[in-house]
Structure 1
Amino acid sequence: MSVNDPRQSDTSVFPDPVYRETVLRPLFDGAKTHHVDGFRRIDRAHLVMLTETGILDLKQAAMIAGALEAIDREIDPSTLTYTGEVEDYFFLIEKELKARIGADIAGRLHTARSRNDIDHTLFKLGLKQRIDTLMAQARNLLDSMIAAAEREKTTLIVAYTHGQPAQPTTFGHYLSAAIEVLLRDMERLEAARAIVNLSPMGAAAITTSGFPIDRDRVAKLLGFAAPLPNSYSCIAAVDYITSTYSAIELMFLHLGRLIQDFQFWTSFEVGQIYVPNALVQISSIMPQKRNPVPVEHMRHLASQTMGRARTVLDVMHNTPFTDMNDSEGETQQMGYEAFASAGRVLNLLAAFIAVIRIDSKRVAENIRRSCITITELADSLVRIENLSFRQAHEIASKVARAVVAENGGLEQDGYEPFLAAFRELAGREPAISHEKFAELVSPEHFVAVRDRLGGPASKAMDAALSAYKAKSDHFKMLAAEHEASEQKAANELNEKFNALVEAR
């Protein structure tokens, strides 16, 4: 009995129509949308290196350079429609090269490289540019937050714990806490950029090449800090992806918490924040309503950004340690959506924080009703009356309960309950007068005495703001260095490539 060999009877031709429409066309469309410039730069840098190392002679290189220049001039990628004649955008460029200079010369451009190292280099170029844009937007938010914190460093607010009024602080102090988290998130994103900024070119398929290539030269021409050393790592280690999207995920998880507070603080019952009319939409049916909907948009966009970043990380989970499609075109394109929504949040939040103001009348009333300065009364009893903190806490607790029961305020209504509680629990008269009592339980005094490191008092806040400005300046310096490095590489690549074009 003979066994049929399916290879002998297979008359099908690549690409299968369904595969073409479900895989190849989307990948082609993604490449022509997102990676045309990357392909162009990689081709040019690799060609320059092949020429400088003598792998190609000047005549061959000049012919290839002229053809690449003609392709750029004559073909608008946005007008291309995928037909299935070639597998992908890479092979389209190779086909165009062959049409202009013949298969023998055109095929020499691919010496000592693979789509493996090309693809990861391509994706790193795309990520680096997007990280730089996102960092610029984050710096803008940081500066907006620092300016607001400085402007509002003495503006009282109610600080909440467990969803309940806890203690008075200032809006500047609150924003400073958020600034510190943002600074750490930006440091994580900057660290991710350093991982992205290592070139895979020269790894070829997996193990580099027997040709005398210069990996450092290609890295320099493409604006990378250096080559990624291990060639297997170049095509297998996707930590440049996971580090980037982990940093994004954390940044927007953290910003989402800040935005959620703003949502709570703008509620009618709390009213701690006033949002200007320019950022308020009016109900179509209820004319009394002021809806600060930008907060809602920031909240759900932050969640979308976090979710998109997490999705990229999930795609990387349990993948083999090798080159694989899971980390490539379609995953990269999906990840770019995280950058897009991230930028919208950062821009809107920076504008929002710049213009919102604290409703001091509402804050004062909420402080009065909630007795949230009572902790300082207990602390003061320890310092002034030489009581133990536990005894002082019991006295303060009795005072707070009595005042709240009468819907009063500590400054106006707390002294008589204080006298009664002190006499009962301390067994003597207090040294604290009515006037002194009112001072001790005022929110201004509460903040002023908290001048320790990290506290809301002016001295501590001034030191913190100075440190934040220094870090902001550091990020700006790094951005300027990155821009200068990228521009220098681009200029050198253009100069070397144009010299090859002119050598024809």
Structure 2
Amino acid sequence: MTSTTDAAPGGLSHTTRLADVEPPIALGALDGRYRGVVAPLVDHLSEPALNRARLHVEVEWLVHLTEREVLPGVRRLTPAEQDTLRAVVRDFGAAQIDELGDIERVTLHDVKAVEYVLKTRLREIAPAEEDAGLAELVHFCCTSEDINNLSYAVMVRGAVHEVWLPRARALVDDLASMAADLADVPLLAHTHGQPATPTTMGKELAVLAWRLRRQLRRIEDAEFLGKLNGATGTYGAHVAAVPGADWEALSRSFVEHLGLTWNPLTTQIESHDWQAELYADLARFNRVLHNMCTDVWSYISMGYFAQVRGQGTVGSSTMPHKVNPIRFENAEANLEVSNALFDVLSATLVQSRLQRDLTDSSMQRNIGSAFGHSLLAIDNARRGLDGLDAVPEAMAADLDRNWEVLGEAVQSAMRALGAQGVPGMEEPYERLKELTRGRRIGQDDLVEFVRGLGLPPEVEQRLAALTPQTYTGLAPALVRHLG
């Protein structure tokens, strides 16, 4: 289909509606420009993945009911029948997506469409007249949220453990390896943007890796909760239908069979607190990673890292000399989008009016985007790190221009001596401030000052030999804490 669009002078005019181009053009960047990076999440957090998870929950609930002979007179499904039903989930693909879409256009209810598909399959594998009632056990005593909360828990768990965590761990391992390689490379620290006590590049990267790993441990230990207790969490329909069954035990065993943690007390919805907790931890990981990106960006701008790999890239369309730190800037932007989504998910999902409202239904459909932007940021940050080479000479040059940072070492040694009763060590801070504040000093200035203090010979020799490059304390050894 084509159309003609008139535009104001200087405006954009077009004759083709991009919305009609085949194959369809993605509206968002994740399904367009960045599809290749985030595609693994489609298996877990897309709309078809949600329907596949719903089918999984419905099949397992049916098997659970028949295996435990909850309803007297209802036979167990044979192993072959169970496998055939589970194959509906295993083989879920384009044909099943289309089938569900056709049914939902009639039902206008997504979970009901899943129920009808499964009932059709059950009738196909158990066509005997005496089995006609088996189909009524599909979705038995379930409200849609019984299926949905379990489906989302299964989906998010898969996305975290099968996609996000492996990528995040790989990034942190790369950063830790980089820290180990640079453990001994002296670096002028900058506190408040001002020259400060020297450290090493490896130790500073190790701090970031340590922080990120701590967040990973929290995410690895996340609980994924689920419930199956009916329309208002009372098992009302369950008890009315089969009053003799231990419905709490059946619910718990089923939720745990899915690999989830059973939530015994809910309204119609599972409260989503576990999601809020998880998304807060993911957002915190994102924020630490954002800190890493801005720090590394700053080190690049100082010349401490050279971006020498990938020479085919274009840094600027007009300035040939430029190699821009685009990977870190891209990561920053995507981390900010991801956190905006994780934050609103965390804040919104824990709220529900009385026993149920539908805000969570729409909100949860953004989970995939939140993960996608985080995954894209991780990919960019990792590629950015891989394109860096340290420039120790640039770091050494900055250290050599800032001998005044040794004032801390000298005044600290004087304090220790003064505390031990050595005479002439009064007001060490004030004396070093007078020497160093607001002006640059060199090695000769510092050595002359040290030799005029009347220090014990061994202390004088030690301080006179100190340089900004060697004043790194335990920094190189501290990297060992990364393991």
Deviation, structure 1 residue 242: 0.8
SS at match of 2:142: coil
Tell me if 1:114 matches 2:114.
no
Amino acid at match of 1:161: T
Amino acid at match of 1:215: S
Alignment-derived partner of residue 123 in structure 1: 152
More helix, by proportion: 1
Residues 295-327 of structure 1, C-alpha deviations (whole Å, 9 max, x = no match): 111111111111111121233365335333222
- Contact 1:185–1:250 (Cα < 8 Å) also in 2: yes
Structure 2: which 5+ residue stretches go unaligned?
1-44
Alignment of 1:175-190 (within 5 A): 175-190=205-220
CA RMSD of aligned residues (A): 3.3
SS at match of 2:105: coil
Tell me if 1:465 matches 2:482.
yes
Deviation, structure 1 residue 47: 1.1
% identity of equivalent residues: 18
- Contact 2:51–2:114 (Cα < 8 Å) also in 1: no
Alignment of 1:97-496 (within 5 A): 97-99=118-120, 101=123, 104-132=133-161, 133-191=163-221, 193-194=222-223, 196=224, 198-203=225-230, 205-208=232-235, 209-210=238-239, 211=242, 212=245, 213=247, 214-224=250-260, 226-230=261-265, 232=266, 235-267=269-301, 270-278=302-310, 281-316=314-349, 318-320=351-353, 322-328=355-361, 330-370=362-402, 371-383=404-416, 386=422, 391-401=427-437, 404=440, 409=442, 411-416=443-448, 418=449, 431=457, 436-444=462-470, 446-447=471-472, 450-451=473-474, 456-458=475-477, 460-462=478-480, 464-466=481-483
Structure 1: which 5+ residue stretches go unaligned?
1-29, 467-504
Deviation, structure 1 residue 337: 0.9
Task: From the superposition, tell whether residues 52 and 392 of structure 1 become closer, same or farther in structure 2 (CA, over 3 Å).
Answer: same
- Contact 1:120–1:235 (Cα < 8 Å) also in 2: yes
- Contact 2:184–2:200 (Cα < 8 Å) also in 1: yes
How far apart, in 2, do the equivalents of 1:53 and 1:384 lie?
79
Residues 436-474 of structure 1, C-alpha deviations (whole Å, 9 max, x = no match): 544223421x12xx34xxxx142x443x233xxxxxxxx
How far apart, in 2, do the equivalents of 1:252 and 1:321 lie?
33
Deviation, structure 1 residue 168: 0.8
- Contact 1:94–1:106 (Cα < 8 Å) also in 2: no
Residues 176-210 of structure 1, C-alpha deviations (whole Å, 9 max, x = no match): 2212321231233234x22x1x3313456411221
Amino acid at match of 1:443: Q
- Contact 1:153–1:172 (Cα < 8 Å) also in 2: yes
Amino acid at match of 1:441: T
- Contact 1:144–1:350 (Cα < 8 Å) also in 2: yes
SS at match of 1:266: helix
Which of 91, 97, 115 does residue 94 from structure 1 map onto? Answer: 115
Task: From the superposition, tell whether residues 53 and 368 of structure 1 become closer, same or farther in structure 2 (CA, over 3 Å).
Answer: same
How far apart, in 1, do the equivalents of 2:268 and 2:203 lie?
45
Deviation, structure 1 residue 340: 0.9
SS at match of 2:187: strand
Residues 145-166 of structure 1, C-alpha deviations (whole Å, 9 max, x = no match): 2212211111111221112221
Deviation, structure 1 residue 140: 1.4
Which of 39, 47, 56 does residue 54 from structure 2 map onto? Answer: 39
TM-score, reference length from structure 1: 0.72
Deviation, structure 1 residue 170: 0.8
How far apart, in 2, do the equivalents of 1:46 and 1:215 lie?
10
Task: Choose between structure 1 and 2 for higher RCO, CA contacts under 8 A separated by at least 6 residues.
Answer: 1
Deviation, structure 1 residue 294: 0.8
What number of residue pairs does the alignment pair up? 410
Alignment-derived partner of residue 5 in structure 1: none
Alignment-derived partner of residue 12 in structure 2: none
- Contact 2:198–2:468 (Cα < 8 Å) also in 1: no
How far apart, in 1, do the equivalents of 2:319 and 2:423 lie?
56
TM-score, reference length from structure 2: 0.75
Alignment-derived partner of residue 487 in structure 1: none
- Please say which of residues 145-154 and 276-285 is displaced more in the overlay: 276-285
- Please say which of residues 176-185 and 91-100 is displaced more in the overlay: 91-100
- Contact 1:32–1:77 (Cα < 8 Å) also in 2: no
Task: From the superposition, tell whether residues 367 and 321 of structure 1 become closer, same or farther in structure 2 (CA, over 3 Å).
Answer: farther
